[in-house]
Structure 1
Amino acid sequence: MVRLAHEQSGGYETLRIRKEQDILYVQMYRPEAKNAINDKLIAEMDELLEAAKQYAKVVVLQGLPEVFCFGADFNQIAQKMKANAFQAPNNPEPLYNIWLNLATGPYISIAQVKGKTNAGGVGFVAACDVVLCERGADFGLSELLFGLIPACVLPFLIRRVGESKANYMTLMTQSITAEQAVQWGLADALDDNVDNLLRKHLLRLRRLDKSAIMKHKTYMNSLSGGLISDKAMALKTNQDIFSDVKNINKISTYVDTGQFPWEQ
């Protein structure tokens, strides 16, 4: 059975890593925050994936048993607002670049998904070359409930499921099941035991040569070009949304009171 990557921290606070020859296992590890994406996780993931370009043939991205990744860390957003009043939002480019790295980097990226995936967590999933999920996992975009748009997620999600289904997920703000995710193309395979599913895939993928992987991904990216050409618009839209003080207030109120925007 493939073990989770929490055996070593590798000096990281938000990640647990394990290297097995040219396979790198990366577990997002913020159990106290449902694996929410904060500045530290972005910085550490960026550093790790940049280094992985040199030696890794396969990068396996994992979450926790109950939640893969729950999206942006609303607590951090609210704290920043309270500490600094309202300022310009964080630059979304570092997170977009992480997803771009997973999508275009010279290795095969695999998302091994258990439990719940929401908002920016869907970005991590959609960016990966291969997505394996456990039966019972689910995937959702909740941003519109807070007046937000998954601007940086959508280019990656559209590449996976197409524009109409990405639009439907955004508008409905409801999770889809693992079975739906496979039917729609967001996930590639599911099983009751996703660890065994990962093991079976690695038996095949580890036979590939890294130079061949690099050539394949370079060619695939030259065919679509959408993720790169859409980047500027995605970043601008994200910054515009998080520049709206009304949206930030909704997030802050939710953090303080637990009330959703439609209850406020």
Structure 2
Amino acid sequence: MEYQTIHVRFQGTICFLQLHRPQANNTINDQLIAECLQVLTACEENITIVVLEGLPEVFCFGADFQDIHDTVGRGLPTEHDPEPLYNLWLKLATGPYITIAHVRGKANAGGVGFVAACDIVLADQTAVFSLSELLFGLFPACVLPFLIRRVGLQKAHYLTLMTQPATVQQAHAWHLVDVYEEQSTILLRKHLQRLRHLSKHGISSYKRYLHQLDNSLQQSKMQALTANRDMFANPQTLEGIFQFIEHKQFPWEKS
């Protein structure tokens, strides 16, 4: 199939899924979410490994503020539904395949959600990770259940409060990144050579059992969705997004 926001290719039982919105800094919009969900659903029967990649300089930069700005500017309803994105991350975390995030460049906000949802995170030395939401009066409500599961409450709390990028070395020390090397494509190839020997039945059974041991992602879902909807319904939040898109100013820089 042809997609507008992603590139997809298959190599045996491995699916390579690349987020591909170079004109929009690889940000997340409704179409990208829908296309990723469609691919992951199609992978459930026969695929054993899903490799999630971005662009060389930006893995994923989070929500598409330009899209939000344009929707409001056209006078269309601003109802924000975070559930499809949360469900997408749930598929990455609990689906019957091994998910690998191959991160190069910037992973910000929702981009960190994609990373934290994956089973294995590989990166090169250009990778940086940040949660910028509080700069706009938001907070990463849907990201946090996945991030806390991976790095723990305090590290997720610190990353949320500081809003500044963490280097790949810091992310590795915090267990957000499993392994990093200068040549991450070679690193990915080594992992695939090992993981491709695992059976579909074994992977599916293991992932199902793991989710039964730790059901925190499902338990946190409704609370995360409610918080996210409330934030994006706040007129002050939308005003801050408008100011950033139209004047390249953060909310505290308003004259």
What is the TM-score with the length of structure 1 in the denominator? 0.95
C-alpha displacement of 1:89: 2.8
1:223 is matched with 213
Tell me how far apart the structure 1 counterparts of residues 223 and 79 of structure 2 sit (CA, whole Å): 16
1:3 is matched with none
Letter in 2 for 1:28: L
Tell me how far apart the structure 2 counterparts of residues 168 and 213 of structure 1 sit (CA, whole Å): 33
1:186-205 aligned at under 5 Å gives the runs 186-205=176-195
2:29 is matched with 38
Tell me how far apart the structure 2 counterparts of residues 186 and 180 of structure 1 sit (CA, whole Å): 9
1:55 is matched with 46
2:155 is matched with 165
1:179 is matched with 169
1:24 is matched with 15
Letter in 1 for 2:213: L
- Contact 2:71 / 2:78 at 8 angstroms: preserved in 1? no
Q: Describe the superposition over 1:123-174 as per-residue Cα deviations: whole angstroms up to 9, x where unpaired.
A: 0000000000001210000000000010000000000100000000000001
Tell me how far apart the structure 2 counterparts of residues 211 and 19 of structure 1 sit (CA, whole Å): 19
Tell me how far apart the structure 1 counterparts of residues 252 and 165 of structure 2 sit (CA, whole Å): 18
Unaligned runs of 5+ in 2: none
SS at match of 2:27: coil
1:115-134 aligned at under 5 Å gives the runs 115-134=105-124
1:261 aligns with 2:251: yes
Q: Describe the superposition over 1:157-199 as per-residue Cα deviations: whole angstroms up to 9, x where unpaired.
A: 0001000000000000011010111110101000000000000
Aligned residues: CA RMSD: 0.8
1:246 is matched with 236
- Contact 2:72 / 2:78 at 8 angstroms: preserved in 1? no
C-alpha displacement of 1:88: 4.7
Letter in 2 for 1:134: D
Tell me how far apart the structure 1 counterparts of residues 227 and 250 of structure 2 sit (CA, whole Å): 23
SS at match of 2:28: coil
Tell me how far apart the structure 2 counterparts of residues 44 and 91 of structure 1 sit (CA, whole Å): 16
Q: Describe the superposition over 1:15-49 as per-residue Cα deviations: whole angstroms up to 9, x where unpaired.
A: 11110000000110000111000111011111111
The runs of at least 4 aligned residues of structure 1 exceeding 3 Å deviation read none
1:94 is matched with 84
What is the TM-score with the length of structure 2 in the denominator? 0.98
User: When the two structures are aligned, how many residues end up with a matched partner?
Assistant: 254
Tell me how far apart the structure 2 counterparts of residues 234 and 165 of structure 1 sit (CA, whole Å): 18
